[in-house]
Amino acid sequence: MNILITGGSGFIGSHLSKLYAQKGNNIFIIDNLLTGNRKNIQSIPSGSLIFFEQDLTTFNLTKLPHIDICYHLASPASPVQYKKHPIETMRVNSEGTYRILELCRNKGCDRMVLTSTSEIYGDPLEHPQKESYWGNVNTLGDRACYDEAKRYAESISMTYHRSFDIDVRIARIFNTYGPNMELNDGRVVSNFIIQAIQNNPITIYGDGTQTRSFCYVEDMVSGLVALGETEDIQGDVINLGNPDEKTVLELAEIIKDMTDSTSEISFEGIGEDDPKKRKPDISKAQKVLKWEPKVPLDQGLQKTINYFESELNKQN
Ligand code: UDP
């Protein structure tokens, strides 16, 4: 198959690209490297990959052959990164998504998997979050460039699906971690691991009672593939994540223990609209995709710690 992966050299995109390449497919990546990194896809044989270092909002899509499935992942996804690049975040999720949908309408691509996010639920008033929940998002806050852009991406995708019978599927991705997160990514798992390895203070924003549920990247990628390859689910939206919920303080203690770190815990100010609780209800994914995450937190964290140790060693 010809697989197009926008954002294919980013954190999740690079794992997806590798998996599809290993299965003998032709991979096409469009990535402007705003937050992605070419080193993440170095191991993919050049014969099975065509890489366009291009911005999706301006790339000439006629350069592509016929695409069987497009996985649309291009976007900053870490709060630190999308707050740093708010315009790019809004544009790639609005104009970028529109351009892939037009490609589908013009028969250049058979199917689009949109990667949306648990952030569309905002600071949720329903717990755990089911796909039927409409969310609680501040349109004016500094997270809105991501949350509202993804909400728009969902809406335009469903509009194209209804208007032109385009085969779209929507993944709402919950917190994911693992190798290929950037050292400067800024999300909680990578921050805590790097701080713990270096015995620097572990920065907890707020009092650490807020919760997240962490999914290992290998599980996330198998969920995305199931969503992309299951037949007759066009127009479906499905939560992908691991429901194993932890407070941020618990996560800090676990990572400190696993790294034998002497780091202090440092409590710092919390960002605007930081969700207090987040946990996916994955019953729809279990039923429709026959998918559920398999990697327990301690195993996933160990692999991620090993990755960051090796990345930090390369810097020394
Ligand atoms: N967080 C933290 N310290 C950090 C980074 C993040 O306490 O160094 C908190 C953050 O305030 C949030 C949670 O960890 O409550 C998850 O943050 P992250 O940036 O990983 O992603 P989010 O789920 O907010 O998109």
Q: Where are the domains of the chain?
A: 2-177+217-242+275-295
CB of residue 205 inside a 6 A radius of ligand 1? yes
Distance 45 CA to ligand 1 centre (A): 35
Rounded Cα gap, residues 30 and 72, in angstroms: 10
Distance 262 CA to ligand 1 centre (A): 21
**pTM exceeds 0.95 for this model:** yes
CB of residue 304 inside a 6 A radius of ligand 1? no
Please give the pLDDT value at position 39: 97
- 82 is annotated as an active-site residue: no
Residue 280 DSSP symbol: B
The per-residue pLDDT for range 105-153, each reduced to its tens digit, is 999 999 999 999 999 999 999 999 999 999 999 999 999 999 999 999 9
Counting ligand 1 atoms within 8 A of each CB, the residue from 80, 145, 212 with the most, and so the one to mutate, is 212
Distance 227 CA to ligand 1 centre (A): 27
Per-residue pLDDT at 316 exceeds 90: no
Class of domain 2-177+217-242+275-295: alpha beta
Please give the pLDDT value at position 251: 98
CB 111 within 8 A of CB 68: yes
User: Residue 240: phi, psi to the nearest 5?
Assistant: -125, 125
Per-residue pLDDT at 55 exceeds 90: yes
What count of Cα atoms within 13 Å lies in the side-chain half-sphere of residue 175?
23
**Measuring from atom 25 of ligand 1, which residue has the nearest CA?**
79
The per-residue pLDDT for range 233-274, each reduced to its tens digit, is 999 999 999 999 999 999 999 999 999 999 999 999 999 999
Q: How large is the average pLDDT for residues 20-43? A: 98
Counting ligand 1 atoms within 8 A of each CB, the residue from 80, 137, 188 with the most, and so the one to mutate, is 188
